[in-house]
């Protein structure tokens, strides 16, 4: 299903989505800074807002790819991009299953998750999402999609840094040692 829109309309949608990514994940970064200082009654609101931001971005990216889809350079690259996107999605889901309910709740006590995809990278959900985004942009042969995936990647790096400040604050040396032993560091 391809949607043909005027280029200026596509560009406006693209800029709006990039702005939305920065604002929504800016909120997520802010959430990691203030979570423990917010009254316990308000914490679920922050968690649900984070879930909405993540879910809406997961939906927005493929929809944008449908709007800006072009003829692939080669069928191989298109299929390869789809394979990369599927791999990123599976990696993200593996990380979510490893965390169970906790992906949107900053840890306050307990242990650092170091199993599953967390043995490979400190932020497997972010990495899976970014890899999936680049795969979708390759599949759709969209330069705007490639830039969009890059905006997501840069934004998630900022969010990861905020999240890591929280993890270092709560786990200290234990988290720093864990991070040192992961293969991919964001």
CA 36, CA 51: separation in Å to the nearest integer? 18
Q: What is the pLDDT of residue 33?
A: 76
CA 78, CA 71: separation in Å to the nearest integer? 9
The DSSP call for residue 36 is G
Bridge partners for 121 per DSSP? 184
pTM: 0.79
Q: Which residues of the chain have pLDDT under 70?
A: 1-5, 101-109, 186
39 CB contacts (<8 Å, ≥6 apart)? none
- Domains, the chain, in order of start with CATH, read 7-180 (1.20.120)
């Amino acid at each position: 299903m391809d949607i043909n829109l005027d280029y200026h309309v596509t560009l406006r949608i693209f800029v709006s989505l990039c702005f939305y990514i920065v604002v929504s994940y800016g909120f997520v970064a802010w959430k990691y800074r203030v979570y423990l200082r917010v009254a316990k009654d308000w914490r679920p609101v922050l968690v649900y807002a984070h879930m909405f931001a993540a879910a809406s971005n997961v939906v927005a990216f493929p929809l944008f790819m449908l709007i800006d889809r072009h003829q692939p350079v080669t069928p191989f690259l298109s299929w390869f991009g789809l394979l990369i996107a599927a791999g990123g999605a599976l990696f993200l889901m593996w990380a979510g299953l490893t965390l169970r309910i906790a992906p949107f709740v900053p840890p306050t006590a307990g242990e650092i998750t170091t199993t599953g995809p967390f043995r490979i990278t400190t932020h497997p959900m972010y990495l899976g999402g970014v890899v999936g985004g680049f795969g979708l942009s390759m599949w759709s042969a969209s330069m705007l999609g490639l830039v969009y995936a890059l905006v997501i990647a840069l934004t998630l790096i900022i969010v990861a840094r905020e999240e890591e400040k929280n993890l270092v604050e709560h786990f200290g040396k234990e988290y720093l040692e864990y991070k040192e032993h992961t293969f991919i560091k964001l």
